Chains A and B, each alone.
Chain A
Amino acid sequence: MLWVAIGILLKILVVVSIALGTVAYLIYVERKVAAYAQDRVGPNRAGKELGIPFGLLQPLADGAKMVLKEDVIPGYVSRPLYMLAPVIAIVAAMIGFAVVPFGPVGPNQIMNFQIAPNINIGILYVFAIGSLAVYGIILAGWASNNKYAFLGALRSSAQLISYEIPLGMSILGMVLIAGSLDLNQIVNWQDRRVWGVVVQPIGFLLFLVSAFAETNRLPFDLPESEQELVGGYHTEYSAMKFGMFFLGEYLHVITVSYLTVLLFFGGWSLPFHLLNQNQIGFLSAVFKVMVLLFKVALMILFIMWVRWTLPRFRYDHLMDLAWKSLIPLSLVNLVATAAIVQLIYSSR
Chain B
Amino acid sequence: MANPTISRPEWSTVIDSVLQKELEQHVLVTSWDKLLNMVDTVYNWGRRSSLWPLGFGLACCAIEMICTASSRFDIARFGAEVFRGSPRQADLMIVSGTVTKTMMPMIARLYDQMPEPKYVISMGACATGGGPFKEGYNVVSGIDKYLPVDVYIPGCPPTPQALLNGLIMLQKKIDGEHITNAPWYRGDVERDIPIPVLGPDLIDLRTVELTAERTALGLAEVREADLPKPSKIPAPQPEAEVVDASGNGAVGAEAAKPPSKIDLIRAKARGETLPAAGSAAPAAAAAPAAAKPAKKGKRALARPSLVWLGDEGLKELAARLDAELGAGTVSIVQAGLLVAPEKLVAVALYLRDKNPIKYDYLASLQSVHYEDCIEINYQFDSTIRPGSLIELRVRTAEAEGQGEVPSLYQVYRGADFQEREVFDMMGVRFTGHPELKRILMWEGYAYYPLRKDFLEPYYEAPAKVFPSRVDEGFGQHFRAEEVNPHGTNLKVPQGFTDWASLSSGSDPKGQPLLPGAIDVQELGTDQFIVSMGPQHPSTHGVFRLNLRVDGETIVGLKPVMGYMHRNHEKIGERNTFLMNFPFTDRLDYLTSMGNNFGYALAVEQLMGEDSRPPERAEYIRIIMAELTRIASHMWSIGFLLNDLGAFFTPALYAIEERELILDLFEWAAGSRMMCNYFRFGGVAFDLPPGWIERCRGVVNDRIDKKIDEFDRYLSQNEIVLDRCKGVGVLTPDQAINYSTAGPVLRASNVAYDIRRAAPYSIYDRFDFDVITGPNGDLYDRYYVRLLEMRESAKILKQAVRDIPDGPILPGKKSYQIKVPAGEAYSRVENPKGELGYYVVADGSGSAYRYHVRSPSFINLTALEPMCLGHTIADVVGILGSLDIVLGEVDR
Contact = CB atoms under 8 A, between A and B. Distances in A.
Interface of A: 31, 34-35, 37-46, 49, 55, 57-58, 60-66, 68-72, 147-148, 151, 154-155, 218-219, 221-222, 225-231, 234-239, 242, 307-317
A57 B79 CA distance: 10
A314 B46 contact: no
Nearest to A28: B79
Interface in B652-683: 652-653, 656
A238 B89 contact: yes
Interface in B586-644: 641-644
25 contacts: A31-B76, A34-B649, A35-B74, A37-B649, A38-B71, A38-B648, A41-B77, A45-B77, A55-B77, A58-B50, A61-B45, A70-B115, A147-B530, A148-B530, A154-B551, A218-B645, A219-B719, A227-B537, A227-B538, A227-B876, A231-B88, A310-B719, A312-B719, A312-B873, A315-B552
Shortest beta-carbon contacts, A-B, top 9: A312-B645, A64-B46, A61-B49, A70-B115, A238-B88, A311-B646, A46-B49, A70-B116, A230-B85
B81 A39 contact: no
Given A38-B648, A64-B45, A72 B91 contact: no
B7 to A, nearest CB: 23
Contacts of B536: 230
Given A31-B81, A314-B723, 13 more contacts: A35-B76, A38-B649, A65-B91, A68-B46, A69-B116, A72-B88, A218-B647, A227-B642, A227-B645, A231-B85, A311-B644, A311-B720, A314-B874
Nearest to B535: A230
Given A46-B79, A65-B47, A313 B649 contact: no
Nearest to B880: A227
B709 interface: no
Contacts of A31: 76, 81-82
Contact of A219 (B117, B184, B645, B874): B645
B587 to A, nearest CB: 26
Contact of A226 (B88, B117, B537, B652): B537
B879 to A, nearest CB: 10
Contacts of A308: 647, 649
Nearest to A308: B649
Contact of A237 (B42, B77, B88, B91): B88
Interface string B42-78: 1101111110000000000000000000110010111
Contact of A42 (B70, B76, B86, B873): B76
Nearest to A46: B49
Given A151-B872, A237-B88, A316-B871, A69 B79 contact: no
A33 to B, nearest CB: 11
B652 A38 contact: yes
A69 B91 contact: yes
B519 to A, nearest CB: 18
A113 B871 CA distance: 47
B766 interface: no
Contacts of B76: 31, 35, 40-43
Given A237-B89, A309-B646, A311-B717, A39 B656 contact: yes
Contacts of B91: 65, 69
A42 B80 CA distance: 10
A234 B643 CA distance: 20
A317 to B, nearest CB: 6
Contacts of B77: 41-45, 55
Indicate the member of B82, B536, B645 with the most A CB atoms within 10 Å: B645
A225 B115 contact: no
Given A40-B71, A231-B85, A242-B89, A45 B115 contact: no
A61 B79 contact: yes
B755 interface: no
Nearest to B185: A70
A159 B85 CA distance: 23
A238 B115 CA distance: 7
A83 to B, nearest CB: 15
Interface in B848-891: 871-874, 876
A155 B871 CA distance: 12
Interface residues of B, number: 57
A45 B86 contact: no
A293 to B, nearest CB: 27
Contact of B79 (A34, A45, A66, A68): A45
Contact of A70 (B71, B117, B876): B117
Contact of A58 (B79, B184, B641, B719): B79
A310 B115 contact: no
A225 B873 contact: yes
Contact of B46 (A65, A70, A227): A65
Contacts of A309: 646, 649
B647 A307 contact: yes
A38 B653 contact: yes
A329 B347 CA distance: 62
B537 A314 contact: no
A68 B43 contact: yes
Given A40-B76, A46-B49, A312-B644, A70 B722 contact: no
Contacts of A311: 641, 644-646, 717, 719-720, 723
B66 to A, nearest CB: 13
Contacts of A45: 49, 77-79
Given A68-B47, A228-B876, A308-B649, A313 B722 contact: yes
Nearest to B179: A68
Contacts of B496: none
Given A226-B537, A228-B876, A311-B719, A39 B652 contact: yes
A43 B85 CA distance: 20
B117 A69 contact: yes
Nearest to B713: A309
A230 B537 contact: yes
A61 B50 contact: yes
A234 B88 CA distance: 9
Contacts of B433: none
B82 to A, nearest CB: 8
Contacts of B358: none
A235 to B, nearest CB: 5
A239 B116 CA distance: 10
Contacts of A312: 644-646, 719, 723, 873
A302 to B, nearest CB: 16
Contacts of B464: none
A150 to B, nearest CB: 9
Nearest to A155: B552
Contacts of B797: none
A239 B49 CA distance: 16
Nearest to B870: A314
A113 B81 CA distance: 38
Nearest to A320: B722
B499 interface: no
B813 interface: no
Interface string B221-263: 0000000000000000000000000000000000000000000
B84 interface: yes
A35 to B, nearest CB: 6
A154 to B, nearest CB: 8
Nearest to B79: A43
B552 A310 contact: no
A57 B49 CA distance: 9
Contacts of B85: 226, 230-231, 235
B32 interface: no
B466 interface: no
A315 B871 contact: yes
Contacts of B647: 34, 218, 226, 307-308
A228 B88 contact: no
A242 B115 CA distance: 12
A60 B646 CA distance: 28
Indicate the member of B46, B47, B84 with the most A CB atoms within 10 Å: B46
B872 A228 contact: yes
B754 to A, nearest CB: 32
A273 B876 CA distance: 52
